[in-house]
Amino acid sequence: MERTNGSTDNLVILAYSGGLDTSCILVWLIEQGYEVIAFLADIGQEENFDAARTKALKLGAKKVIVEDVKKDFVESYIWPWLQSSALYEGRYMLGTSLARPCISAKLVEIAIAENASYFAHGATGKGNDQVRFELCCYALHPKLKVIAPWRQKEFYSRFRGRQDLMAYAAERGIPVPVSPKQPWSMDANLMHISYEAGVLEDPAQPPPPDLCQMTVNPENAPDKPDRLTISFRNGIPVAVVAEDTNVTYTGSLELFQFLNQIGGQHGIGRIDVVENRFIGMKSRGVYETPGATILFLAHQDLELLTMDREVRYLKQQLAEQFVRMIYNGFWYSPESRYVQECIAASQKSVCGWVKVNLYKGHVQILARHSDVPIYNKDLVSMDVQGNYEPADADGFIKINALRLKESARAGTGHR
């Protein structure tokens, strides 16, 4: 395609972070003849957005757009995830995976408003984010075209790794925050920080002791625990009360930020995992997710108190599907919309409060309460018979034992 200045045919919305990759990509796109609008999503990362704006404009960006999407990230992405109780491969809380559809939605909105033909990103050709960004953007704006430099031969032949990028940055006068002494990659947002690459690529080596930024080492956490009461309505947190200060946090963003802060003080939410990327390779990552870890455990506890057993079993099966949709980039797919609606419907009974103790990397559940009457103290009591006839269990056990006896008779039972 012929690219001429002043035409939207050569206008690109770049998902820009101000880091090494996207700063170099911004300059490289301009060298290829594109006009670039740099888009920064304020999704809760520690970032000097004024400095990033100044830097992008100095590097040649036509315009820089910064959008605050923190509250939307919490309410439209983290809360549905929390209701689902979805963990990727039983451990990862999907902080990066959830941020990508949030960023993509705003990027598409800007592309439409600016009449841009392209969007570009700095995701590598080996990772998950390239898939997430592109599937989300295509679902929301099918005519938008992608520029993925790390999949273009002329780009990855020239830049074979971070050292080549740093050399290019030095040649072009691009200031970057990454030095050869700290070559790992970091992705931060309101929900978590993830670390990968560099020294972390060897899974046999422990992560550097100074790696984590959201949480203290649990060994150095306070000797005195903090106690919180977290209230939920329809599976969504609506209030957090700090017992020591008797301060109540109610706004979605306010309470989530508070939980990050206090959870970080107690070293909560650190994991070091090897996971299976969607593209088909394994990777090692270190994650710290303090506030979401507290909420996940409290929500899970309240679900067990308030949800019907079979409804929860079905919801867990849906969550197994949902977690792959989130991780693999299918947030805006028809199946994801359907599953989210089903999971939200399951949460109508998940109302009440959970009291937790935070101490040296651990979240201890102390107590829970709900006005939903599914828990019957008299029925379960060892001291009160309640509305239950113990003799009925005799037939229940015999019926359930029938097929086991038949398997034994046929010789197909357990040996």
CATH number, position 86: 3.40.50.620
Residue 31 shares a structural domain with residue 178: yes
Number of folded domains that form the chain = 3
Choosing from 72, 129, 187, 301, which is the catalytic residue?
129
Residue 263 shares a structural domain with residue 140: no
Choose one of 143, 168, 185: the last residue of a domain: 185
Residue 334 lies in a domain: no
Q: Is 50 a catalytic residue?
A: no
Question: How far, in Å, CA of 110 to CA of 39, rounded?
Answer: 8
User: What pTM did the predictor assign?
Assistant: 0.92
Choosing from 53, 84, 97, 100, which is the catalytic residue?
100
Residue 174 shares a structural domain with residue 90: yes
Q: Is 185 a catalytic residue?
A: yes
Query: If we measure between CA atoms, which residue out of 56, 63, 43, 72 comes closest to residue 116?
Result: 63
Residue 151 shares a structural domain with residue 212: no
Digitized pLDDT (tens) for each residue of the chain, 415 residues in all: 334 444 478 999 999 988 888 999 999 999 999 999 999 999 999 889 999 999 999 999 999 999 999 999 999 999 999 999 999 999 999 999 999 999 999 999 999 999 999 999 999 888 899 999 999 999 999 999 999 999 999 999 999 877 899 899 999 999 876 555 566 788 899 999 999 988 899 999 999 999 999 999 999 999 999 999 999 999 999 999 999 999 999 999 999 999 999 999 999 999 999 999 998 999 999 999 999 999 999 999 999 999 999 999 999 999 999 999 999 999 999 999 999 999 999 999 999 999 999 999 999 999 999 988 788 777 777 777 777 788 889 999 999 999 999 899 888 877 6
Torsion of CA 177, 136, 79, 365, to 10 degrees: -70
Residue 361 shares a structural domain with residue 240: yes
